Structure 1
Amino acid sequence: MVKEGELLVELTAAEMKAQIAEAESKVQAAEAELAQAEAQLAASQSTFDRMKKAAETPGAIAGNELIVAEKQADAAKAVINSRKQASQAAQASVQALKSLEAYLKITAPFAGVVTERIVHPGALVGSGSNEPLLVLQQNSHLRVTVAVPEENVGAIPKGAKVAFQVPAYPDRSFSGTIARRSQALDQKTRTMAVELDVMNPDQSLASGMYATVKWPVQRPKPALYVPKTSVVTTTERTFVNSGKERKSRVGKCRQRGRGWGLH
């Protein structure tokens, strides 16, 4: 049994760790360049502020010098913006690689049972392989698929409880709820697949078991079933002999499964 979110398989990829280390070094380099650019901006801005204050005194500095100092401060600000974008891009690259690395840890998407392990520790796996690593099944909530004959499709009571048994527990009866149907008939068997939702809290049932279903059939009008010995068949017709007071009452008969129904 495994819980939802529990670690199932952990893969290793040495080349990815190298890529992450390289990306982190680029982040450090970008941050160093950003710090250097901030220092240059502080120096240029300080020079411009001093010259601007000195320019308040007529003839203290040339007007061209003040313009040059202002342009240098503006250029330093542009370098700061460029360094910030480079640092953000480097950090985003690290986060992308770490997010990709997280896929190396495969966790359980739901609580269930690992029924089969295909690979073993040390095995080589890759993106080109379609073979699964393991099989995880959720046995607490199962589905039973029933092939319903065509003549009974119109009387499927949605939401009804259906009893069934499995060979593993011959003395125990289970039940499921009619949840959905395929809305298409199998052309070979002339049956429609109907699914039952089955709750399996004690894990008694397992995936792949065959079930014998006692299907509820609703009829528009009741049918009278009579013993097989009461049915008389001649070359002309089939009728029922009631045997009451040496008189015969004839009724039209139709065979239903293993018995006869009087309609």
Structure 2
Amino acid sequence: MRLDRAVALVALLAAGCSRPPAGPGAAAPAAAPPVTVVKVEKRPVKRVVEQPGAVHPFEETVLHARVGGYVQKLDADIGTRVTRDQVLAELAVPELEEEFKQKEALVRQADAEVTQAKKALAASAAGVAAAKAHVVEAEAGLGRAQAVYVRWQSEAERIGRLVAGGVIDTQTRDETLNQLKSAEAGRAEATAKVTSAGAAVAKADADRDKAAADVAAADARLDVARAGVRRTDALRAYTRIKAPFDGVVTRRTANTGDFVAADGRHGLFAVARLDPVRVVVNVPEADAGLVDAGTAVSVALPTAGAPVSGKVVRTSWALDPGSRTLRTEIDLPNPGGKVRPGMYVVAKLTAELPAEWAVPAAAVGKANDEPVVFLAEGGKAVRVAVQFHRGDAQHTQVRRYRRPGTADWTDFTGAESVAAPAAAVTDGQALP
């Protein structure tokens, strides 16, 4: 037995002597990182969401023909920088020009009818005045006839008394009665003339009212004719295809001489507004709640130099049902036009979360696919499962912890301390 031990000792010594010496450049074994104990404290954290995106025009409008016609002239092509209301193409529509001339002629005709109707109204007003003058004249004649009647009536009564007294003969009485009858007939005639003159006034009033209605109708026809001219002139304006805003023509599908229909199916041009541009980033569902208008963002364009700082301007608020992502848009100034639609970008969105109980990021480890931390209790490390919010490169916000063998969760209160880094700690290890 002693012999065997001696042989083994000799073998070990021989092996030690045969090991090659370490070279001068050999690295020393890596030392384990020191374990520290830190208090749980409330800290805000910054969450950085990095996602690819793409550049889009701020606006892009497809221009269609409003009236059918032939392309008479093209004034723009793809790549042409245009300003608002600049003419890009002109259409030839001869029948529309003829219709415009016809509408103008109808306006002149309606204007003449208004003049004619107004003159007829003036004549009717003069007729009313004349009829009223005839009424005055007839009433004056009636007054004279009434006076004559009264005179002969009084005379007839006087003569009758004289005849009864035997002063004069009956012949004089008969002549007086005849004069009375004549005066009575004259009075009746004058009364009829007054009635006739009144009827003439009523007719003149009716004629005047009709003439006024004719003037109103003529004015209405003139308004209709003018509206027709304006409508046709508006259609004529559509023969000039204009840019809706300052931008660049990105697509052209028409050629000189082409017939274009006003069916809205085929656009003649596409014009894009490129200052500013929209950067569109689709944020995953897990981070969608962190992004809102005003969120700080850094946009890196591989072909445009240094990253550009900006803010989120708008989001779709609702997630896309297919991709479960939130459409997020950032507006970037582009005065020189260096940034072009379709460019690839990488956007870093930084959201600052409110302060919560937090531990160093290195204090969170994993055991059995479950996040854990090591509480410092009684000078020893106690491994507990942990629930956390979010974190950044330095700190992780924690919510609750659960001790081994229990089902209840305990909220962090700030009285706890944890050991870090978790990778260098074992359950039950003595802590400094």
TM-score interval, smaller chain: 0.7 to 0.9
Q: CA deviation at 1:210?
A: 0.8
- Which of 104, 119, 135 is the equivalent residue of 2:254? 119
Structure 1 runs not aligned, ≥5 long: 227-231, 240-249
Q: CA deviation at 1:211?
A: 0.5
More helix by share: 2
1:175 pairs with 2:255: no
Q: How does 1:220-259 map to 2 (within 5 A)?
A: 221=358, 223-224=360-361
Q: CA deviation at 1:213?
A: 2.1
1:194 pairs with 2:328: yes
Distance 2:131 2:325 in 1: 94
Deviations 1:111-164 (A, max 9, x none): 211222221232211122412111111111111122223333333364133222
Q: CA deviation at 1:178?
A: 1.2
Structure 2 runs not aligned, ≥5 long: 1-80, 142-189, 373-382, 386-390, 397-420, 423-432
Q: CA deviation at 1:205?
A: 0.5
Q: CA deviation at 1:214?
A: 2.9
**Contact 2:292–2:315 at 8 Å: present in 1 too?**
no
- Which of 135, 159, 178 is the equivalent residue of 2:294? 159
Q: How does 1:2-13 map to 2 (within 5 A)?
A: 2-13=82-93
- Which of 8, 18, 24 is the equivalent residue of 2:104? 24
Distance 2:296 2:366 in 1: 39
Partner AA of 1:55 in structure 2: V
More strand by share: 2
**Contact 1:175–1:198 at 8 Å: present in 2 too?**
no
The change in CA–CA distance for 1:96 and 1:223 in structure 2 (over 3 A counts) is farther
Partner of 1:146: 281
Partner of 1:80: 215
**Contact 2:292–2:314 at 8 Å: present in 1 too?**
no
Partner of 2:344: 210
Distance 2:270 2:238 in 1: 18
Question: Identity across aligned pairs (percent)?
Answer: 28
How many positions carry a matched residue from both structures?
Answer: 248
**Contact 1:176–1:199 at 8 Å: present in 2 too?**
no
Distance 2:322 2:216 in 1: 71
Provide TM-score, normalisation by structure 2: 0.48
Distance 1:5 1:84 in 2: 35
The change in CA–CA distance for 1:210 and 1:126 in structure 2 (over 3 A counts) is same
Provide TM-score, normalisation by structure 1: 0.74
Q: CA deviation at 1:73?
A: 3.1
**Contact 2:117–2:214 at 8 Å: present in 1 too?**
yes
Partner AA of 1:45 in structure 2: A
Deviations 1:28-80 (A, max 9, x none): 22222222223333333323323422432234994535334444333333322
Q: CA deviation at 1:187?
A: 5.7
Secondary structure of the corresponding residue to residue 289 of structure 2: helix
Partner AA of 2:124 in structure 1: S
RMSD: 4.1
Distance 2:366 2:133 in 1: 125
Deviations 1:169-206 (A, max 9, x none): 3x322233112333344566554332222222222111
With a CA cutoff of 8 Å and minimum separation of 6, indicate the structure with the bigger relative contact order. Answer: 2
